[in-house]
Amino acid sequence: MKEGRGGDGVGSSFSPSSYFSIDNQSSDIIKKIRSGEFKIAVYGLGHVGSSIASVWLRAGAHVIGVDKSPNVLENAKRGMTHIQEPGVNEAFTKGLDKSRFEIYEDAVKASQDSYFKMICVPVLADSGSADLASVKNVAGAIGKGLKEGDVVALNSTVPLGTTEDIILPIIEKESRILKRETDFYMIYNPERIYEGRAIEDIEKRYPAIISGAGPKSVEMGVKLYSMVFKKGVMAISNIRTAEMEKLLEGVYRDANIALANELAKFCEQVGVDFWEAREAANSQPFCHIHKAGVGVGGACIPTYPQFILDTADRIKVDCNITRLSRNINNSMPAYSVQQAIKLLHARKNIAGSIITLLGLAFRGGVSDTRLSPTYKVIEEFQKLKVKEIRVHDPLAKSDPFLLKEENVILTTNLNEALKDADLVMLVTDHPEYSNLTSSTIEAPVYDGRGMLDRSKFDHTKFAAIGIDDKIKTTTEYFP
Ligand SMILES: NC(=O)c1ccc[n+]([C@@H]2O[C@H](COP(=O)([O-])OP(=O)(O)OC[C@H]3O[C@@H](n4cnc5c(N)ncnc54)[C@H](O)[C@@H]3O)[C@@H](O)[C@H]2O)c1
């Protein structure tokens, strides 16, 4: 890997010269992909897979979408996805119209019929540790249908060693005779999309991270991914390092958020507005303090540190900051609920009250609820035996977990959610909430994302993470 390290120790590790750029017009393979002769199979049409399939469809390729969910398959056949990702439905529909998009349930046949196979199935388990069952299952099917000269790419985020020690042996075994590097190419390319702008991320924003089972696989990866990543391709010297790259991103963000949470709580105790101090601090180019909040959710940030910790425990290595960060972030829902109910104590008992939670999605602007902190907030209020919990979300319209809960309702109707509420807690930073004022919400409000305009609320009925209006005198903490 070429490397150009910044002199300041905190800047980018790579100079633009480390991005490979290949003249792909001359390549026969690329011509065959563009003509549809060499098909691309995308396994798992979820947030990542449907975006990847769309990008290849937009590049003119013939794509076979594979999924195990009948619902996902039915939707895809009608040119639709269950996820809200700009451009995906359009790409699917156009692909179907031009007979360049096929949907398969049969994972082995998809491998037989395709040249390039991309694995985009999940590894997420509720425990936060990795569940490799889906990835192994797909690897086996790909192996059974594998032909000489084919290319396989794993795009899921996985614990260190998964590609070489688990996935490659399965593919080779199931293929019976084919060997990595000599008979087929194996690429590990961690996908790095930000939900809600995934197509743009792949096509325009980030370089692809490419590693392979050997130099031939890396070269093939560089050629193929250069077709769709306009920012180019960053070749990594080995697969394990590329696996680590993606985990580093997750740990960095988790630890940064934990730091923000710790400092926000500190600011509350010393009468400082964390948000104002943060904005000023981040105007310095080496300071990038993330946002404090009710908790960290989603399929990525809470799980990747856990992959590192699981490996660290096995090899008996301390990863104290990673572990502490997880613990701090996991403690935020309970902490936020305790802060929020302080607003209620003066008025009435918590038991028997109606609580409104704003937001079920794990972050603003998306409908994805995986590992959302809202679930933990609900549990905390349930422990307090509240009468009813109303969850409002503009994008997450139904939820199988909440359906099972007796005193919890989910609604997209804000007025319905707020009616007669005793306490409102903002959990998700959906942009729709930023204009809320005390004229829309009569009940006390706890802003768990620090996004509301405090001046628009009566201060006796408003509190926010990182802010304490009861300014302490310095003598209280500076003897
Ligand atoms: N969501 C993100 O923002 C994001 C970003 C970067 C990387 N990732 C990683 O990408 C991977 C996929 O994540 P996702 O968010 O797309 O998951 P997802 O749950 O949205 O989609 C996964 C899809 O795979 C299908 N599937 C599961 N098992 C299957 C099997 N055995 N055969 C065929 N299909 C199967 C599911 O039905 C589902 O449609 C994960 O490793 C994740 O960590 C996710």
- Tens of pLDDT, residue by residue over 227-256, are 999 999 999 999 999 999 999 999 999 999
Provide the pairing of β-strand 185-188 with 208-212: antiparallel
Q: Tell me how far apart the alpha carbons of residues 22 and 30 are, in angstroms, rounded to a whole number.
A: 12
Give the model confidence (pLDDT) of 7-28 as tens digits: 333 333 333 334 444 444 447 8
Tokens of 381: 């209020």
Strands (E), 7-55: 19-20, 40-43
CA atoms of 309 and 323, how far apart (whole Å): 7
CA of 353 to the centre of ligand 1 (A): 38
pLDDT band with cut points at 50, 70 and 90 for residue 357: very high
**Which of 106, 120, 194 is the best mutation target for the ligand 1 pocket, counting ligand atoms within 8 Å of the beta carbon and taking the most?**
120
Q: Which 3 state secondary structure label does DSSP give 78?
A: coil
- Ligand 1 centroid to Cα of residue 67, in Å, is 10
Say yes or no to pLDDT of 466 above 80. Answer: yes
Neighbour-count burial of 204, counting CB atoms closer than 10 A to its CB (0-12 exposed, 13-18 middle, 19+ buried): exposed
How crowded is residue 221: how many other Cβ atoms within 10 Å of its Cβ? Answer: 28
pLDDT digit string (tens) for 196-222? 999 999 999 999 999 999 999 999 999
Instruction: State the DSSP code for 395.
Output: S
pLDDT of residue 313: 95
Structure pTM?
A: 0.91
- Closest to 141 measured CA to CA, from 94, 105, 100: 105
CB-based pocket (< 6 A), ligand 1: 43-49, 66-69, 72, 107, 120-123, 134, 137-138, 156-157, 191-193, 195, 299-300
pLDDT at 256: 98
Nearest CA to ligand 1 atom 15: 47
Does the pLDDT value for residue 345 go beyond 70?
Answer: no
Helix axes 133-145, 168-175, angle to 10 degrees: 30
User: What pLDDT is attached to residue 469?
Assistant: 55
Distance CA 61, CA 59 (A): 6
pLDDT band per the 50, 70, 90 thresholds, residue 125:
confident
Share of the chain above pLDDT 70, in %: 91
Q: How confident is the model at residue 348, as a pLDDT?
A: 65
Residue 413 above 90 pLDDT?
A: yes
**DSSP per position, 93-124:** HHHHHTT-EEEES-HHHHHHH-SEEEE----B
**Predicted confidence band of residue 123 (pLDDT cuts 50, 70, 90):** very high
Position 406 scores a pLDDT of: 87
Q: What is the per-residue pLDDT across 146-176, written as a single tens digit (0 to 9) for each? A: 999 999 999 999 999 999 999 999 999 999 9
Choose among 140, 141, 135: nearest CA to 120.
135
Q: Which atom of ligand 1 is nearest to the CA of 195?
A: 3
- Residue pair 186/180 in contact by the 8 Å Cβ criterion: yes
Closest ligand 1 atom to 135 CA: 31
**In this model, does residue 453 exceed pLDDT 60?**
yes
Cross-strand bridge partners of residue 65: 42, 103
The pLDDT of 388-393, averaged and rounded, is 97
Is residue 214 within 8 A of residue 181, CB to CB? The reply is yes
Question: Quick count: other Cβ atoms within 10 Å of Cβ 408?
Answer: 20
Nearest CA to ligand 1 atom 37: 69
Residue 7: predicted pLDDT = 35
Ligand 1: centre distance to CA 315 (Å): 28
CA dihedral 191, 178, 105, 75 (to 10 degrees): 20
Distance between alpha carbon 195 and the CA centroid of its chain, in Å? 7
Nearest alpha carbon, ligand 1 atom 39? 46
Buried b (16+ CB within 10 A) or exposed e, 101-134: bbbbeebbbbbebbbbbbbbbbbbeeebebebeb
- Asked if pLDDT for residue 128 goes beyond 90, the answer is no
Q: What is the mean pLDDT of the chain?
A: 91
Q: From ligand 1's centre to the CA of 382, what distance in Å?
A: 31
Q: Is the pLDDT of residue 3 over 60?
A: no
Atom 20 in ligand 1: which residue has the minimum CA distance?
A: 46
Per residue in 48-94, pLDDT (tens digit) is 999 999 999 999 999 999 999 999 999 999 999 988 899 999 999 99
Interatomic CA distance for residues 350 and 420, integer angstroms: 14
